[in-house]
Copies of this chain bind each other. A is one copy, B any other.
Amino acid sequence: MSIAERKEREKEEMRRNILSAALSLFREKGYDSVSIRNIADAIEYSPATIYLYFRDKSEIFAALQYEAASVMRNHFMPLLQLENPWERLIEFGHLYIDFGLKHSDLYDLIFIIRAPMEHVENQECWNVGMTVHKFFSETVQACVDARYFKSTDTATIAYTLWAYVHGIVALFVRDRMRMYPPEKREELARKSLTMFTKMMEVL
């Protein structure tokens, strides 16, 4: 049974090969302007070969989106150490913005890019991205339960906080902070977060 296993392993290697080439090309040139032929060139295979491992270009995209979501989930792992829900929520904000500024391309992949949602698999991968939001909601719920907020409208609170951090990252990722000098942008984002944290205390 070793030959079949090796075959399986080789197949998986090839998939990874394609995906890593695709990702690095995407980082360089942007998602839209990288072609199947570019990826094929990078891995030194024929364009047609790629279609043996992925149904079409959007499936490559979906696979990368899935991986990006995994990276983001891992980024939030340290939160599990924090018992206090309020601390967890505050740290969540910091980690969220950290991730967005550091891995702009992955964030874009998950939360900004107009995803080609043709495949059923995408539904699944979208759910992975949504895990973040779910974790967010749960933390807010814990804060509500522990009376850290006056309001009990968990849904609206979670959405409001999420919209804010998303706004911060989205403006950064899509280069809409030109009115601020490049070296000040990150600082401004963090200053804003502490300001927002203070604002949260009235909730």
Q: Mark A147-175, 1 if CB is under 8 A from B, else 0.
A: 00001010111011011111110110011
Q: Mark A161-197, 1 if CB is under 8 A from B, else 0.
A: 0111111101100111011100000001001100110
- Mostly helix, strand, loop or mixed at chain A's interface? helix
A155 contact set on B, CB distance < 8 A = 188
Assuming the A-B contacts A32-B32, A166-B167, A168-B167, are A156 and B192 also in contact, with contact meaning beta carbons closer than 8 angstroms in the complex? yes
Q: Are B179 and A163 in contact (CB under 8 A)?
A: no
Assuming the A-B contacts A126-B178, A198-B202, A202-B202, are A30 and B162 also in contact, with contact meaning beta carbons closer than 8 angstroms in the complex? no
Select from chain B the residue with minimum beta-carbon distance to A32: B32
Select from chain B the residue with minimum beta-carbon distance to A115: B175
Q: Are A188 and B156 in contact (CB under 8 A)?
A: yes
A179 contact set on B, CB distance < 8 A = 130, 133-134
Shortest A148–chain B CB gap in Å is 14
A-B contact sample (12 more), CB < 8 A, given A112-B174, A114-B174, A156-B192: A111-B176, A112-B170, A113-B174, A151-B195, A159-B180, A162-B167, A163-B168, A164-B167, A166-B170, A167-B167, A167-B168, A202-B202
